[in-house]
Chain A
Amino acid sequence: MERRTFLKQSVSVVIATVISFLGSKTGQAAWLAKHFASGQFNESMAQLFDNQTITESSQINIGLPKIAENGTVVPITISSELENIERIYILVEKNPTPLAAEFELSAEVSVYITTRIKMAESCNVVVIAKLGSQLLKSQQWVNVVQGGCGTG
């Protein structure tokens, strides 16, 4: 390839990346500081769900270790056969910032998500799924061997 052509193409790729990056930020719900405020678990739940009814569900599956040696890296898997899950929230009951992540999902997504969370101490990890006006909940207790104040 000619050097000039190569340079031209590289530049256009970079520009396209920058434009699409900026473009992807527009028109979406902004990151909400209040959702990620430090505080008690109950305060976070009230902030997020405004006292709506939340139903325990066996259709939201959580995979977590029963014992986590290291609270700074706790692998979690969330899966569900349910269609039309719009949002998934991961909350760690005893973390200084209880909300770990909030996923906004399109219909293109088949619900199987893994990530790694921090846990300050042994507690429940609570997963809430939002389908229309319905809120479904599943939770699992994790024993954290080594947590500490910096982890949550």
Chain B
Amino acid sequence: MMSNSDGEPVASAKIKVVARDVNVFYSDKHALKAVNLDVRANEVTALIGPSGCGKSTFLRCLNRMNDLIDGARVTGTIAIDQQDIYLKDLDVVQLRARVGMVFQKPNPFPKSIFDNVAYGPRIHGLAGTGAELEEIVVTSLKRAGLFEEVKDRLNEAGTGLSGGQQQRLCIARAIAVSPEVILMDEPCSALDPIATAKVEELIDELRQNYTIIVVTHSMQQAARVSQRTAFFHLGELVEVGDTEQIFTNPNHKLTQGYITGRFG
């Protein structure tokens, strides 16, 4: 039987991502300290904590985005479906297709809506014919809840969309390459409440097919969209648990202090 990071046995939930004793150093700075975390498949896991607590650093470990930062060093093991993603001969481009990412600010390519979504499938050779490619684009836009709004203007620039639409376009782009895990780094912080609600609704639908990890500064967002919540503080994972438990009866004083707004 597997056990979760608290040492309790987990019998029913399927574990998608396992992080063990993960440390991250940026040059001399010890940014992430001995993090153990299990991420369950087809659930939304929210990572919360004050700025500089290591939550985004941890998120970026999961698709090796930290490789791109000079002086960054990652130790420990991270496995997706029991496959170590830090193996030397691992194809990082393939990894990033399996583990998609959506950023804080919507960052569509300066291309048409269609080409934004088609970009990934093209470079990964996922579509044999033009018709197949079109089907991937349409399906991805539908899954991202954007198709109805853009179906008549697929050749217009993605950058011409509203902020909320751009973010959903980025989500469509991420899911076009059929990832297994989607990482989201504050996906709604630049959006208004209506656009935020749409993205949150989308996140909830997407978890049927994907495992989602979302970093957020909004407690309410973590409470609304996630099934599990992990609280980070000063580079350490303080507590992880069912979202309901974290927000009604957290075990750790630091968690309680943070989520109730009592941080000194």
Report if A and B associate in a common complex.
no
